[in-house]
Structure 1
Amino acid sequence: MAQDSSLPGFWDTRYRGGVVPWDAAGVPPHLKSWLQAQKAALRVLIPGCGTGYEVRAFAAHGHDVLAIEFADAAIEAAQRELGALSERVVKADFFVFEAAPFDVIYERAFMCALPRRLWPQWAARVAQLVRPGGELAGFFYFDDNERGPPFGISPARLDELLGPRFERIEDAAIAPNESIAVFQGKERWQVWRRRL
């Protein structure tokens, strides 16, 4: 079994074995509220989309959403879940994927799935893929446990990674009944605006 969460085989093994404790089986309430507040159609990227529930939510609100995933088993799960919207999920590696900048990158269990050694590359890549004035919006897992995934981050480390290129404009705790067990009490909804 692959033990490096930066490799597709790690995730293929988990999806095929049904070991998916991060799968919320739906769309989180904070995302629903954020979507309702958006006034214009946005070009959205969802990296590491997993089963892809949020793809449907973004599309239902009129957004041009693209989801990327690099594990075949996750892509298959998303395609089963999304039906007619399955063409919005493509196989791609976030770190080399080429695209015009997006208005929004949605974060849900992608960053915390990456080994910590990749976080500086993740932050730089997010900055490349979000247009100036655009947003990184989603859920961030705060924990000091060395084991993972999920790999928790400290607020100071997240500020260090994103602060040079982004400004945090929203920060809200997630109620225990709105979180899945693996993240319970340790995740926050945040929106970071790309500096001009």
Structure 2
Amino acid sequence: MECTQPDFWEQRYRAGRMPWDLQGVPPALVDYLRRTAATGDVLIPGCGSGYEVQAFHEHGWRPRAIDFSPAAVERARQLLGPLAPLVREADFFAGDSGGPYEMIYERTFLCSLPPARWPDYARRCARLLRPGGRIAGIFYYGVDPDGPPFPLTPAVAAQVFDRFELTVDRALPATASLPLYAGFERWQEWQLKSIGP
């Protein structure tokens, strides 16, 4: 599928056609960073313009952001200035994503992937996280099969994230989302289950 290839996204970044770009840090992440004292290493896959890098950095986290679109990486580095080295071009599934991490931050990356890749995403996250680590962020739910964006359903999410436990789940107000996602986003935190002996 085209959306699994860098050129699909490269063309959109180069043309400025980015309906997923919030032009800033999502309020849900701002709230999370204010209410939690946790810090550590965080991976931001499919980082796009990279706004969240600075937010994590300012709250004591050690962010690493990756995208496989050169245009996205270039844009993020320009926007981040002195924090530009925290962004690099890499394929989440094939490249060196570093780690292990306390957290993998999610916003618009999972829903950009065709559903057939979602189990690969969850397995890759499980490998990159420290024991007890989590995937946290904004997840897109709905029923429209003609993505991207591709929406989750609760039943599918439970299957995809079978190695994780859903510890936080709350709907975001439509006013906190872009029109493309309004009314369909949820802040969720999925904690990696401990593996028995």
Q: Which TM-score bucket, shorter chain as reference?
A: over 0.9
Letter in 1 for 2:84: S
Alignment match, 2:133: 134
What are the within-5 Å matches in structure 2 for residues 81-92 of structure 1?
Answer: 81-92=79-90
d(CA) in 2 for partners of 1:19, 1:28: 19
Alignment match, 1:18: 16
Deviations 1:118-162 (CA, angstroms, capped at 9, x unpaired): 111111111111111111000111121111110111111011110
Alignment match, 1:122: 121
Residue-pair matches, total: 193
Letter in 2 for 1:173: A
Alignment match, 1:191: 189
Deviations 1:164-193 (CA, angstroms, capped at 9, x unpaired): 211111001110110111100111000011
d(CA) in 2 for partners of 1:95, 1:184: 29
Alignment match, 2:70: 72
Letter in 2 for 1:26: G
Matched, 1:59 2:74: no
Letter in 2 for 1:67: A
Deviations 1:67-99 (CA, angstroms, capped at 9, x unpaired): 010001111110111111110001111012332
What stretches of structure 1 move > 4 A for 4+ residues in a row?
none
Gaps of 5+ in 2: none
What TM-score do the two structures reach when normalised by structure 2?
A: 0.95
Alignment match, 1:32: 30
Matched, 1:107 2:127: no
d(CA) in 2 for partners of 1:19, 1:177: 21
Gaps of 5+ in 1: none
Secondary structure (helix, strand or coil) at the match of 1:12 reads helix
Q: CA deviation at 1:33?
A: 1.2
Secondary structure (helix, strand or coil) at the match of 2:44 reads strand
Secondary structure (helix, strand or coil) at the match of 1:122 reads helix
Q: CA deviation at 1:104?
A: 0.3
Identity %: 46
2:44 to 19, 35, 46: 46
Letter in 1 for 2:174: P
Q: CA deviation at 1:23?
A: 0.3
Q: CA deviation at 1:14?
A: 0.3
What TM-score do the two structures reach when normalised by structure 1?
A: 0.95
